Amino acid sequence: MIITEFLEKNARITPDSVALVEINPALQPDHSVSWREFSLIESASGGKYRREMTWREFDQTANRFANLLLSRGIKRGDKVAILLMNCLEWLPVYFGILKTGALAVPLNFRYTADEIKYCLSLSDATALIFGPEFTGRIEQVLDELEAIRHFFFVGNDTPAFSDSYEHFITYCSSTAPAVEVLDRDDAAIYFSSGTTGFPKAILHSHEGLMAACLSEQKHHGQTKDDVFLCIPPLYHTGAKMHWFGSLMVGGKAVLLRGISSEWVLQAVSDEKATIVWLLVPWAQDILDSIDKGELKLSDYKLSQWRLMHIGAQPVPPSLITRWLKVFPHQQYDTNYGLSESAGPGCVHLGVENVHKVGSIGIAGYLWETRIVDENMKDVPAGTVGELAVKGPGLMKCYYRNPEATAEILVDGWLRTGDMAKTDDDGFIYLVDRKKDVIISGGENIYPVQIEDFLRAHDKIKDVAVIGMADDRLGEIAAAIIELKQEGSVSQEDINAFCLDLPRYKRPRRIIFAKVPRNPTGKIEKPKLRKLYGAEHLVEKQMSK
C-alpha cells in the first residue's frame, strides 16, 4: 500500500470532512470564510485569511494536478520540484506528483537563487511549481535552468515564463490517473546538507513514506477526531511525516502561516487543535508570554489540547518541567530522526516516559538502534559512540552520490553522525555531533558556508564558526574571526557585511581572536568550543 491510497480512502469514506485548513493571521480579517467562498470573498487587505479543503477536494485537486503533469509529458521516474511556502496547495501538489509515478522534490524556501539552481540540477528536476515569494530568485538563474521544461506558478500575476497552476488544473480531469505505483518505486527526493555546506539529495521510496505513516500514528495514536496544528515548513520531513499520522486516520490538519505565541494559542482555540508540534524556542516564547501576562490562558479554549511534542533539536528538561506546570493536563513527547530516515520517529521517547526527559528515547516503532564505534561494533551502555539506526524508512541512497551513500549506509544500518550513549534502561542521550552542523531553532546551519562567506572580507585572515549553547534557540552560530590587522574591523562592520547572508545563517556572536589549527591545517573546533563555553546541551541537562 502507498500513501496516496490513504488520501483516496479518506475521500471515499468521509468526502465532506475537512482535511486541510490554512490560516494566515497576519491578514487580520474580520471573519473567516470557507474554501468554496474564496473565489468571491477576501479579507479587506486583499489576502485570504482562512481557507479550508475537504478530503474530496484534496483528492480531486491532487488528481487534477497529476493529470496536468501527465498531459505535459511528465512520466514515471521524472522529478518535479516544489518551492512553496506552507499553503493549502502544498499537499495536493505533493500528492498529485506521487500519483503520476514521478518523484516529488521539496525545496527549502530559505534557499538562495544559487542553491535553488544547484538542487534542481542535482535532482534532475524537469518541472518546478513555485509561489510568488520565489519569482525574483528564480529569475536570477532562469537562463541557467535549461533542464526545467515546465514552470507552474501558484498565485496571482503569473510571470511570463510560467503557466498558472490554478488556471490549468481547472481544465484537467479530477479522476485519478491510471498509473500503477508500487511500494518499491522511488517517491521523493529531500535535501540535507553536511559540513561541506552543499545539500545532498536523499532518495526515498514509497515504502519509506509508508513507514513514516505507520510509525507516527503508532507513536501518537491519532484518530479521526484529532486536529493537528502544523507550524514548521512542509518541505521538511519533520512537519510532513508528523502530518502523515493524520492522513492515515483522516484527521484534520491546520497549516499556520507565521509564528507568534498569540497565533499559536488562537489557532489551537479556534480550530480545536488536539496535537501541536513545537520547536524549543516557540514553546519558550509561549511560556514567557504567559509569565509576563501578555497572554492569558483564560482567553482561549485549550482543554482539548492533549499532546505537545517537540523535535529537531535537544530539549532542555527544565523547559518541559515548566511547560507541564502550566499545562498539567497535556502529554509530552519527543522524536528523533533525520531526512535520511524519512523524518522523525526512528527514536522515540513516548508519552509514558516523561521522567526520561533529556533523553531522545528508545528505538521507534519498526526501528532498531545501536551505539557503535568506528568499526560498527557495539559499545557498552554509558559509553559514547555513534548512533546507528535501521528500519523500513531508511533512504535508498544519496541520489547520484554513491561514495557518500557508502559512508553512511553500512550493512543496512544508517550511521547518523550523532554521538550518543545509553543509560542503564537503554534510553539514548545525544552527546555531540560528529559533524559540525549547528541546530538553531530547529534549522540546520552549516559552518563552512558562513566561514566561506566571511573569508571573502578583505580584512579577515581566518575564521571558524561554532555552535554555542543558547537557552532559547538551543544553539547559536558564533564566528571566531582572526583579522589581518588587529582592530581594523569592528563587530558592527562584520554584522553589516553579513546582511547579505540569509538571516538564520548570520552569526549571533562575533569573537575577535586567533583561529587555532592542528598540524594538518584543520581548525581545532573542540578547543574553540571549550575555550568559548559552547557546552553540549544534553550533558548539561543530564547533570541537573
* 13 pLDDT more than 70: yes
Task: Judge contact between 316 and 537, C-beta under 8 A.
Answer: yes
536 vs 71, 430, 468, 527, 528, CA distance in Å? 53, 9, 9, 13, 13
Segments of the chain assigned to CATH 3.30.300.30:
438-542
- Report residue 294's pLDDT band, with 50, 70 and 90 as the boundaries: very high
The 10 Å Cβ neighbour count of residue 37 is: 12
Average pLDDT over residues 476-492: 91
3-state secondary structure of 414: strand
Confidence of residue 539 (pLDDT cuts 50, 70, 90): very low
**CATH of 4-258 among 3.40.50.12780, 1.10.10.10, 3.40.1350.10, 1.10.1060.10:** 3.40.50.12780
Every domain range in the chain assigned CATH 2.30.38.10: 308-433
Q: Are 82 and 106 in contact (CB under 8 A)?
A: yes
Query: What tens digit of pLDDT does each residue of 343-366 get?
Result: 889 999 999 999 999 899 999 999
450 vs 60, higher pLDDT: 60
Whether the pLDDT of residue 45 is over 50: the answer is no
Indicate the SS3 state at residue 187.
strand
Cα–Cα distance list, 77 to 59, 169, 354 (Å): 22, 22, 43
Helix 90-99 vs helix 55-71: crossing angle, to nearest 10? 50
The three three-digit cell numbers of residue 25, written as one number: 493571521
pLDDT at 16: 98
Q: How far apart (Å, rounded) are the C-alpha atoms in residues 99 and 179?
A: 7
- Helices 280-291 & 261-271 angle (0-180, nearest 10): 90
Whether domain 308-433 has CATH 2.30.38.10: the reply is yes
Q: Is the pLDDT of residue 49 over 90?
A: no
Dist CA 436 CA 213 (whole Å):
30
Q: Please give the pLDDT value at position 437.
A: 76
pTM of the model: 0.83
Q: Residue 234: which residues within 8 A CB-CB, separation 6 or more?
A: 84, 86, 90, 91, 94, 106, 240, 243, 255
Q: What is the mean pLDDT of residues 105-122?
A: 94
Task: Name the residue with cell 524556542.
Answer: 281
Query: What was the pLDDT predicted at 471?
Result: 85
Q: Which CATH class is domain 438-542?
A: alpha beta
